[in-house]
Structure 1
């Protein structure tokens, strides 16, 4: 009886939570800037699409090298991140490990790249560590959750003299190997996207050539870069095979390039002088430090937090709406094989294009405001969740006399997939927050804008404090998301 009584209560909580977030997004919309400021946005949009239709693959001599380096950074960074993450997952039960992992994954890859650029310069180590460090925290969290869900019964069947390491290798790993492999493959695809956008901070990956082409108005060249990137992502099942992975991992370091030599004196100065708050570096007492810190928080951190939260909440709800509208595109309960194929193509393009690249393109077309960022975040994350929910809905068996059209959608499928949909949405809340923060580098007044401005003004002490604020904000959203998922009885880590 208790289970039946709790079902309406759970649905009531789910409905109230959904309505609350929709209303909150509408309130945020009233305080946000979503204006289109370009003179001819539709003309610019048509020029962009014409560039994709007429790509120029031979306009840049370094495009092939950029592809290889994009892959090399991803393979090396994800390999290091997965190994470090697995080791952290083994001791993830300790609070200090969980806190450390949460902190390093809360800082976006671009922020890590901006930090390492200050003392490593344009060295391959900058790109590798920018991917490996946050991915270590992500892998630690997910691997630990996968390992915790392993059935303990096989371990109990082993002889009492079997050592802990042997028991782990033979009774625990085989039971979750497929999940570990599947998630690592997905994270490798994410690594390709992360590697590409590192080009926007100057590293020689595909993002560098995309930004150069757009800034010069060469839309055909930009179209060629985008098509190459889509081809890499779409053909992953064809060339990223288990037998070839050892070869890729061993060969990747040789394609990273040399870069500028590391000046270790710059590394020492960065940690001992550059990131020390200016009042303390100049030998002042705490009386001058606190006014300096207060001014930084009031003038930069608080406006950045406000705009980051506004943009995140609007993007979160827009992502949910788009995902609910998109999943029928690939569900077997709607359309025909041809229409579902077209839906798959649309969702692959949406989820394969990094939010940063989408926002950059839309900012060039619509001008600087929150609108390009909201649309970019919604398209990418909505494409991911729509794809997962669409696949999940295809496994639902309907009655022979089930209604069709909008009635089937609203009364048969949405109620059944809605808990999983919310689990995915709240699980990506932290990710949307991370992306929102770094979109400030493009000129939107989120925390990333103030971080980038501080670095440009060689105020690394202010930049590090603002990055710390960004990390704490992301950790807070992650904690809140877990509590909401627990309260609504959603899966802690949704799987599909």
Structure 2
């Protein structure tokens, strides 16, 4: 390469400058969205309701323990069986992830939220075990395929050189790359199972008898002690996963899960299923070949529902993304032994456990009771949950090298946080934040089921009105929007955070 004078005089790109630029862009976009989003407070004085909720949290009570135990069993059953089936399917997809159509399929199925999959399958299978399993299983196949493929890609190829060159791709992966990647994949599966528990719980918001169903019912009826009992039980279940789901117990748990699954209430008619897939999901103008009529139908859908829903979803997403960054900066130091110890560290860890374990839907439901129907509850819920999750990962990362020898002149206290720890952890924080961008968007769209005017609101309304063609096209639009945002976030990570991008991708999705 020939170095010219302009090349020599051009300053090297500063990593710090790049981080400042991307941070300012993040803040600017969030500020621009504020005037356009629906953030109106409909309840001026939420303190009375907040006091009732607070009293309920410290006085949990549930009269019928049998019902609660059954809900816990179903929550675990849906999550465990779905993950057990999705892992081998996702691994098989990862082996052939070099096929473009397979990558597109994985991106499409993971871009649709579990609740939207649940609403679709409810039309075929009703409130049954099949609906619950498929709603979690299908998107998780896409997630596992992507993450497993990236983990395998990072493995050294040398062991595969000892195999016969004529061996099939599946055999080469099975005998060389997959064994090397197995520890990282198992670590991710354990994390993803916690996510599946949250997904299983919130399926109760569409009627499945998991913990979310009883939590929503208790909150709607103002029975906050009962709601607190469900919530505390769920948090305890998440916190103790490592103790009750040891490898030796997985097979017994699987057998129990199969036994707990409810039977389908109504036999599935193949004729009705085919009618739903081939007729009900498509507008009549498209089925009849009336392209002018289909264009008119599509324009009305876009102008009246899709575009307003997309804009509100994007507004809330961008504000939640910026607020998440602020929450991370405030919370992660409270859970790192490099900065705090003793009761302060225990308290910080407990706060992060509550935030990362409580589903966004549950938080948003509580905030709706306090502030009324607007986008503010969604922004707060998304920021708190994702802030708690990323803070937990950042705090864990900061503790990995806490035993390294420190310099005598290292600052302490707030100075250490400002001049050492935050600069060290900030690139990883931004990488994880951009990785969660697409997830926050998907959750923002899902918030519409609670009445917030995002895409999910129009999807849920279409299902309620038995307008399956509208619901289906809106779900497709939601998936395309998620794929687009994911592509933008990936470009930003690769451009501004090349050293932390891939490792962050493998931490969470």
Shared fold (TM-score greater than 0.5)?
yes
Change (3 A) 1:246 1:48: same
Matches within 5 A, 1:435-474: 435-474=443-482
Structure 1 residue 399, shift from structure 2 partner: 2.1
2:45 aligned partner? 40
Shift of 1:338: 1.5
Residue 249 of structure 1 is aligned with which of 222, 245, 254? 254
Consecutive unaligned residues of structure 2, counting only runs of 5 or more, are: none
Q: Is 1:276–2:282 an aligned residue pair?
A: yes
Aligned to 2:34: 29
Q: Deviations over 1:411-438 (max 9, x none)?
A: 1111111111111111111100110000
Identify the range of structure 1 (428-437 vs 356-365) with the bigger mean alpha-carbon deviation. Answer: 356-365
Structure 1: stretches of 5+ with no match in the other structure: none
- Where do 1:39-438 residues align within 5 Å? 39-59=44-64, 61-157=66-162, 167-264=172-269, 265-281=271-287, 283=288, 285-396=290-401, 397=404, 398-438=406-446
Aligned-pair CA distance for 1:272: 2.3
Q: Distance in 2 between matches of 1:347 and 1:107?
A: 27
8 Å CA contact 1:441–1:449 kept in 2: the answer is: yes
Per-residue CA deviation, residues 50-101 of structure 1 (Å, 9 max, x unaligned), is 1111111224641111110011000111111112111110111111000000
CA distance in 1, matches of 2:272, 2:61: 40
Quote the Cα distance in structure 1 between the aligned partners of 2:168 and 2:119: 45
Q: How many equivalent residue pairs?
A: 493
What is the CA deviation profile of residues 118-165 of structure 1, one whole-angstrom value per residue up to 9, with x for unaligned ones? 121112100000000000000000000001111112222457687765
Spell out, residue by residue over 1:197-245, the C-alpha distance to the aligned partner (whole angstroms, 9 max, x if none). Answer: 0000000100110111111111111011101101110110111111111
Secondary structure at 1:323's aligned position in 2?
Answer: helix
Match of 1:484 in 2: 492
Q: CA deviation at 1:481?
A: 0.8
Deviations, residues 35-61 of structure 1 (Å, cap 9, x unaligned): 322253111111112111111122464
* Contact 1:362 1:372 (C-alpha < 8 Å) held by counterparts: yes
Shift of 1:334: 1.6
CA distance in structure 2 between the partners assigned to 1:277 and 1:248 by the alignment: 44
Tell me if the contact between 1:427 and 1:493 (Cα under 8 Å) persists in the aligned partners: no
Q: 1:362 to 1:381 in 2, by over 3 A?
A: same
Between the aligned partners of 2:459 and 2:358, the Cα distance in structure 1 is 24
Residues in 2 aligned to 1:166 and 1:287: alpha-carbon distance in whole angstroms:
52
